[in-house]
Copies of this chain bind each other. A is one copy, B any other.
Amino acid sequence: MKLLRDKVQQDGIVLSNQVLKVDSFLNHQMDPVLMQEIGKEFASRFAAENITKVLTIESSGIAPAIMTALEIKVPLIFARKQKSLTLRDDIFTEKVYSFTKQETNEITVSKKFMDASDHVLIIDDFLANGEAAFGLARVVEQAGASVAGIGIAIEKAFQPGGAKLKEAGYRLESLVRIAGLEDGEVQFAEADEVVTP
């Protein structure tokens, strides 16, 4: 997606070979028009799927996901993240490890809002190791629902999440794929040379 790629090129800050900072437009300050375009792009890529719900995880997934849900005209559910949890039988829970924060969180979705009739599109802002995406997919499967696909704004393609998700059989659509962050610069993956306008 050219618009997002240009934004990464212009405003992304390479902090190290592993870390790209995009807090000026994606995950602290957000450009609402860019979010709307991201929503339209995901809706268009998954237009052939009969999606009934969009699912994301708090917090930075919410803006792109609500725009996607608005385009598809289905509800958005955002999974809550908490450090520890008292056992409850009205929620689906999955453990998700964060490599960035080096901690495990429980993610939760109320059982009221997802069942076997649902076909769910998972949306998130970043994909690195795939822990969050796999956790969300496991929640969908716990509900007996099906995963329509996984839509990611920025994939760090030099980390293993994308390959693992595809290997597990999920359809993955990443709007921008980053091949590396060497020498303080963003290297985009080849697949992005063929960009949607």
Residues of A whose CB lies within 8 Å of any CB of B are: 23-24, 28-33, 35-36, 58-59, 62-63, 66-67, 69-70, 73-78, 80, 109-110, 112-113
Contacts and interface: CB of A to CB of B under 8 A. Distances in A.
Contacts of A59: 58-59, 62, 78, 80
Q: How many copies does the complex hold?
A: 2
Contacts of A31: 75
A90 to B, nearest CB: 11
B112 A73 contact: no
A73 B31 CA distance: 9
Q: Tell me whether chain A's interface is mostly helix, strand or loop, or mixed.
A: mixed
A32 B75 contact: yes
B78 A28 contact: yes
Contacts of A110: 23, 28-29
A63 B110 CA distance: 19
Given A30-B77, A32-B69, A32-B74, 7 more contacts: A28-B80, A29-B110, A29-B112, A30-B76, A32-B66, A36-B70, A59-B59
